Amino acid sequence: MRAFVTGATGMVGSQLVRQLLQRGDDVVVLVRDHDPQSELLRSRDIERTTVVNGALEDVTVLERALAQHAPDVVFHLGAQTQVGAAVRQPLDNFEANVRGTWNLLEACRRQKDLLRAIVVASTDKAYGDHQGSAYTEDMPLQGKYPYDASKVAAEIVVRSYRETFALPLVVARCGNIFGPGDLNWARLIPGTIKDALAGRRPVVRSDGSLVRDYFFVDDAAAAYLALADQAGRADVDGQAFNFSADEPLSVLDVIARIGSAMGRELIPDVRNIAQHEIPTQRLSSSKAQRVLGWKSQHTFASALTKTIAWYEAFLGAR
């Protein structure tokens, strides 16, 4: 395929680009900020891609990119992804996640004849709170906090462009993605590993009981590829799919497992100050397994081993 990837400098985008290149696909990437710490740059994978400089908020840049580079598949991963930042700066959050999505889809509409698949990255946060039940794709999207709501709104835009203009759209809803390349130290896994290596107690903003799905970045990228490869099928086209490792864990469980894997006793500093958090979020990926033949290739333990090794190397080199 010839792929156009938004959000290519992010953790998932960098891994997706790597997997595309390993397959021999041609890759065009949208880059807003030149971040030398991004895995896309550190790995020098960016040198094997075609780079378009610009932002999702500029529809002219997006249409020019599609018209000039003629991709047949678009992967829309670009977004503001931090829950805390969305609360602090809701306008920027909605601009990036909602306006950015309708800009991209409008550019796709204008270049519709080029495209056979548009894969849009959503999130389990869009489901909101369903009283601890495992999320399935037929559940209503009822996210209400700024980040959650922005992804719900983006999916409404997706549905509108799908139903009105018959764009070849598919949606991926993933759990909490982690792995090499994530330098957002406010997130649980990167922050805990960094604190452990520095001999500090890991800080827990909640009471530690929040349950989430933790999903390895390599598996997330592979899930997007599976959607793109099968998007033309009648039972895939226009559908949303959950992707997870089906292994939900609490915050305190994650910290304990990191400590065990690193051979350290980690005593968390539990502050219980978190706001706008849903107690339990877990995904059922049975539809993806049944329809796409997809299955996560990593357990949490095996993914954590690879992740810790990456952070040890990265932080040790600084």
Q: Which residues are catalytic?
A: 147
Q: Which of 47, 64, 52 is nearest to 5 (CA)?
A: 52
Distance (Å, whole) CA 187 – CA 219: 19
Cβ-proximal residues to 34 (8 Å cutoff; 6+ apart), any chain? 41
CA–CA distance, 72 with 88 (Å, rounded to integer): 37
Phi and psi, residue 74, nearest 5°: -115, 130
User: Pairing mode, if any, of strands 211-212 and 249-250?
Assistant: antiparallel
Structural contact between residues 257 and 304, judged by C-beta atoms closer than 8 angstroms: yes
Kindly report the three-state secondary structure assignment for every residue of 254-292: HHHHHHHHHCCCCCCEECCCCCCCCCECCECCHHHHHHH
Evaluate whether 12 touches 121 at the Cβ level (below 8 Å): yes
Helices (H) and strands (E) in the chain — how many of each?
A: 12, 13
Count CB atoms within 10 A of the CB of residue 18. 19
Distances (CA, A) of 192 to 109, 149, 210, 311: 43, 28, 16, 11
Cβ burial 236-266 (10 Å sphere, 16+ → b, else e): bbbbbbbbbbbbbbbbbebbebbbebbeeeb
- 148, 186 Cβ separation under 8 angstroms: no
Provide the token pair at 91. 């306008």
